[in-house]
Chains A and B, each alone.
Chain A
Amino acid sequence: MNLAIKIGNATFPNPVTVASGTFGHAEKYFNLEEVKKLGAIVPKTVTLLAQKGNPPPRIVETPSGMINAIGIENPGADSFITQKLPMFKKIGVPLIISILGHSDEQFVSLINKFNVVDGIAAIELNLSCPNLKHKVLVAQDPASTARVVGQLKKISRYPIIAKLSPNVTDISEIAVAAEESGADAVSLINTFTAMAINTKTRRPVLGNLTGGLSGPAIRPVALHMVYRTAQRVKIPVVAMGGIMSTNDALEFLIAGASMVAVGTFNFVNPRAPLEALEGIKAYMKENKIKDIKELIGSLKI
């Protein structure tokens, strides 16, 4: 059975990964032999400089999901590379490094820093970031997405995956812009902008007022966005958005995703990605599918 997926010149042993920001302290808590089975690991987004994150409260539970406003708390690229990356490398699973720049220059500096680091499979651009003088995020504008992806693709040693925001009219437009400017893959979806109000105090529940909605609540919308995008681009689509189970993962693969990431549901069941992987294998065996590529985009209409 062949489960391997290629993105640019990187090969992943299977299509199951974790969404950025949802993977915990592997060494302390997890059975590493199990974690080694994942197709890829995506650590939390790294910025050029350290970010202390948003004031608490940072999360709120919602129907079938959550809203988070963590604020990309991270130690900055240099500390990440010296202090965290060695631990991730030791796991032995291909690493997709998620980066976010607050300007094109910061993105360029980040790429330059990771270009001189070995042992990375690919770079994911978190494009839900500020955009020069524009009011919208990079991921909300096809031209800005093309500008950022194009610049970084030219200088990056590693394949580039553009992570897209669902807070747009037509996400496939942005995906096409990313593909045309050289992205090796697109990943979608990031979270939906959302909020919650404490009616007793009439204050926002989150310290940041707004946050991002994730979890199974958004899955059917994510599935449609992935389907629509996979119809329009030839590069691989990495899908995330409320995936909890084998069946969820299969839906996204059939809709056209080449890889699937478990995100928020890791917080409920840390074994969910491995259970989904085992389930995909069982499904392939049962349906006599020898290569995962036969399953990808196999929707019958």
Chain B
Amino acid sequence: MEKIQNKFRVVSNEKLCPRFYRLSLDAKSLVKKIKPGQFIHIRVEDSLEPFFRRPFSVYRAQKNAEIFYEAIGPGTKILSQKKKGDELDILGPLGNSFALPPKGTKTVVMVAGGIGVAPFLIFSDLLKDKGYDLILLYGGRTKGHVFNMKDFKKNGCKVFIATDDGSVGVKGRVSKLFSKIPLDSKATYLYTCGPNPMMAAVQDFARQNHLSGQVSCEEVMACALGACLGCSIETKSGYKTVCYDGPVFDLDEVVFH
């Protein structure tokens, strides 16, 4: 099991904005293997509370392996206290990854809600030199959920922001930014990750405008190895595990409720 279960040391753990943290791990063996869209499963503490590991999309894998997270529940709150040199027990990389856009794609639009933005930095690292126009539509609840997006901009992403309270960018949900999406079903391709209602809105928009794309889903996970079947979601072809069949699915495939 040494293949996927390892201990890695924290290099840094910093707050990028009032709500979000970035944690870097000295994890060369992970960095080599990770593909954009994959996740790692972290045991935040060697104790029984919280009991489960916590899954995180990989935010970047260059020198270190990075995750981007919101300290919102018992697991992520403990994680936010980790200091340089602390050791974490990690399973990964796990799950499938984003597939490249189909041939003929000119514009890649990434639609992210809150912490759902995490897998798109590593993905834009991959896409930046491939000749696409990259657009990131980001929706956050408040300005506390908006961080400096210079790394996305350096990768050539045009970034548009909406906040629920209008404190940054356009006031309203990220769907207020859908007007930025070129409506050319042959040349535009979508990727989305965020809360389920947001991804459902992206799916609706895509269907109405005959666009296609991929969606990265999130669920509570126990094993993250396809064993417990606890993180299953409904798809057009039956229940699928987010951890093993996903987390990336065809945008049209997932059934949102």
Stretch at the interface among A66-74, A101-109, A130-138, A288-296: A66-74
**Segment among B20-28, B158-166, B218-226 that sits at the interface with chain A:** B218-226
In the complex, A22 has a CB within 8 A of chain B: yes
8 Å CB contact of A24 from B51, B53, B227, B233: B227
Most chain A beta-carbon neighbours within 10 Å: one of B5, B219, B230, B231: B230
Question: How far is B226's CA from A70's CA once the two chains are assembled, in angstroms?
Answer: 12
Which of B8-16, B42-50, B114-122, B136-144 lines the interface with chain A? B42-50
* Cβ A59 vs Cβ B226 within 8 A: no
Give chain A nearest CB distance to B127 CB in angstroms: 27
Residues of A1-55 whose CB lies within 8 A of B: 21-25, 29-31, 34-35, 44, 52-53, 55
A34 to chain B: closest residue by CB = B1
- Residues 244-270 of A, flagged 1 when their CB comes within 8 A of B and 0 if not, give 000000000000000000001011111
Q: Nearest Cβ distance between residue A253 and chain B, in whole angstroms? A: 22
A59–B231 CB distance below 8 A: yes
Q: Flag whether B2 is at the interface (Cβ < 8 A).
A: yes
Which residues from A are CB-within-8-Å of B4?
29-30, 270
Of chain B, the residue at the smallest CB distance from A58 is B230
Closest to A242 in B: B48
Are B2 and A267 closer than 8 Å at their CB atoms?
no
**Is A228 close to B, CB under 8 A?**
no
Give complex CA distance A61, B44 in Å. Answer: 15
B232 at the interface (CB under 8 A from A): yes
A68: chain B residues within 8 A (beta carbon)? 222, 228, 230
CB pair A21–B244 under 8 Å, yes or no, is no
> Per-residue 0/1 for A59-99: is the Cβ within 8 Å of any B Cβ (1 yes, 0 no)?
11111111010100100000000000000000000000000
Q: Which residue of A lies closest to B53 (CB)?
A: A268
- Per-residue CB proximity of B216-257 to A under 8 Å, as 1/0? 000110111111111111100011000010000000000000
Assess the A22–B223 pair: CB atoms within 8 A.
yes
- A270 CA to B222 CA in the complex, in Å? 11
A73 touches B5 (CB 8 A): no
Q: Give Cα A24–Cα B222 distance, bound, in whole angstroms.
A: 12
Q: How many residues of chain A get a CB closer than 8 Å to chain B's CBs?
A: 38
Using A25-B225, A73-B232 as known contacts, say yes or no to A268 and B1 having CB atoms under 8 A apart: no
| Chain A interface, >50% SS class | loop
Q: Are A268 and B225 in contact (CB under 8 A)?
A: no
B146 within 8 A of A: no
Interface residue? B52 (CB, 8 A): yes
- Indicate if the CB atoms of B220 and A59 lie closer than 8 Å: yes
- Let me know if B229 and A24 touch, CB within 8 A: no
Enumerate chain B residues within 8 angstroms of A56, measured Cβ to Cβ. 219, 231-234, 239
Bound-state Cα–Cα, A62 to B220, Å: 12
Partner pick for A53 among B1, B223, B229, CB 8 A cutoff: B229
A-contact 0/1 string along B96-121, CB 8 Å cutoff: 00000000000000000000000000
Output the least CB separation between B211 and chain A (Å).
Answer: 27
Can you sample 28 A-B contacts with CB below 8 Å?
A21-B227, A22-B223, A24-B226, A24-B227, A25-B225, A25-B226, A25-B244, A31-B2, A53-B239, A56-B219, A56-B239, A58-B230, A59-B222, A60-B220, A61-B52, A61-B222, A64-B51, A65-B51, A66-B52, A66-B230, A68-B222, A70-B228, A70-B230, A70-B232, A267-B222, A270-B91, A270-B223, A271-B1
Closest 6 CB pairs of A and B: A24-B227, A24-B225, A59-B230, A267-B223, A267-B222, A64-B48
A interface, CB within 8 angstroms of B: 21-25, 29-31, 34-35, 44, 52-53, 55-66, 68, 70, 73, 215-216, 264, 266-271, 274
Q: List 14 other contacts, CB 8 Å, given A267-B227, A268-B52.
A: A21-B229, A24-B225, A24-B226, A29-B1, A53-B239, A56-B219, A56-B239, A58-B231, A59-B222, A59-B230, A61-B50, A63-B49, A70-B232, A267-B53
